[in-house]
Structure 1
């Protein structure tokens, strides 16, 4: 079921949230090229304009660690702090569900 996480970012204000969004958008093309990154989605939260929630799913923990080591991700991690008041990370281990096929399994 992969290795996942949910990250809740709270920006300082609406201007900082917009700058954070721009940084995330600049980072996304590199993430889309990572073979071990299965899902990487940024969400807005209704009625909380300064909050963004990311859902990330990787083939396994090693793929997540490879993601974190990429230059585009390291830049994002370094630059995001200026825009954020808080960051909350919840790591997830899949159990059951519907979605992407297991890594390495034929999809017919």
Structure 2
């Protein structure tokens, strides 16, 4: 079997790179993210939602998001907490770059077991 034939095609992932206006805007953006994460934690189709600060770039935030499917991503986008985040974030930012990712191979979080 070739590498392409073994490729994993499930899931839906993206990265988003946000650049904030200044240190104060970064602090306010982080507070907005912290409030939003509370709602995201209860989304069953959101497998990974992690915010990073690149080394040496204190005004930049990079989000890595992994969803069970495109439908799970859309369910995330339809949530009130996500809509609020999308409305409020722009006042803190100078730029936003989004990259949608095609999964090839990897290790992903274990599925939640039904109890």
Question: TM-score, normalization: structure 1?
Answer: 0.91
Question: TM-score, normalization: structure 2?
Answer: 0.86
Cα distance in 2, alignment partners of residues 47 and 8 from structure 1: 14
In the other structure, the counterpart of 2:24 is 15
Give 5+ residue unaligned stretches, structure 1: none
Query: Greater Rg, structure 1 or structure 2?
Result: 2
In the other structure, the counterpart of 2:80 is 71
Q: Which one has the bigger strand percentage? A: 1
Does 2:91 align with 1:82? Answer: yes
Give 5+ residue unaligned stretches, structure 2: 1-9
Runs of 4+ off more than 2 Å? none
5 Å-filtered alignment, 1:97-108, equals: 97-101=106-110
Q: How far 1:100 moved relative to its partner?
A: 2.4
Cα distance in 2, alignment partners of residues 70 and 98 from structure 1: 27
Aligned length: 104
Question: Which of 85, 93, 105 is equivalent to 2:102?
Answer: 93
